[in-house]
């Protein structure tokens, strides 16, 4: 049995796309606080797709979510942008929670080595969101 678990684990690692996803839990009864995601970049040449990841439950009823995305670069430069996430909200009668990854930037180059900090803050208090994060592929 242990051998089977080890083989399955190795296959899962071997089939991974090399992407990065970090999600942080938030208060599902009322998310209003900033959430920071830290990404250590060592590849300054590859083009990446960046997305905002969201996990929500049935209390979240909206098709869109407005957030402020504040990005801090390793050289201390900062960018702040208000974005509206368009959610697909695919229905599943058996699902207790749903997860989505919404594209934010395609084919971008993280040209600095070091830690990028992505801070996500909802524009208003939101009920039903359980976790939020950043995906980099």
Burial class (CB in 10 A: 0-12, 13-18, 19+), 22: middle
| 13: CB partners within 8 A, 6+ apart | none
pTM for the whole structure: 0.82
Residues of the chain short of pLDDT 70, as ranges, are: 1-18, 90-95
**What are the Cα distances from residue 90, in Å, to 4, 71, 79, 87, 100?**
34, 29, 32, 9, 9
Provide the pLDDT for residue 115.
Answer: 97
Provide the pLDDT for residue 53.
Answer: 96
Provide the pLDDT for residue 91.
Answer: 60
């Amino acid at each position: 049995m242990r051998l089977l678990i080890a083989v399955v684990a190795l296959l899962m690692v071997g089939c991974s796309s090399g992407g990065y996803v970090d999600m942080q839990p938030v208060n599902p009864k009322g998310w209003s606080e900033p959430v920071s995601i830290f990404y250590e970049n060592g590849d300054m040449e590859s083009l990446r797709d960046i997305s905002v990841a969201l996990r929500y439950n049935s209390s979240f009823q909206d098709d869109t979510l407005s957030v402020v995305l504040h990005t801090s670069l390793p050289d201390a430069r900062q960018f702040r942008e208000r974005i509206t996430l368009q959610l697909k909200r695919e229905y599943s009668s058996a699902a207790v929670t749903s997860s989505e990854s919404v594209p934010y930037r395609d084919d971008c180059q993280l040209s600095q080595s070091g830690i990028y900090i992505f801070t996500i803050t909802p524009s208003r208090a939101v009920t039903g969101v359980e976790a939020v994060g950043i995906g980099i592929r």
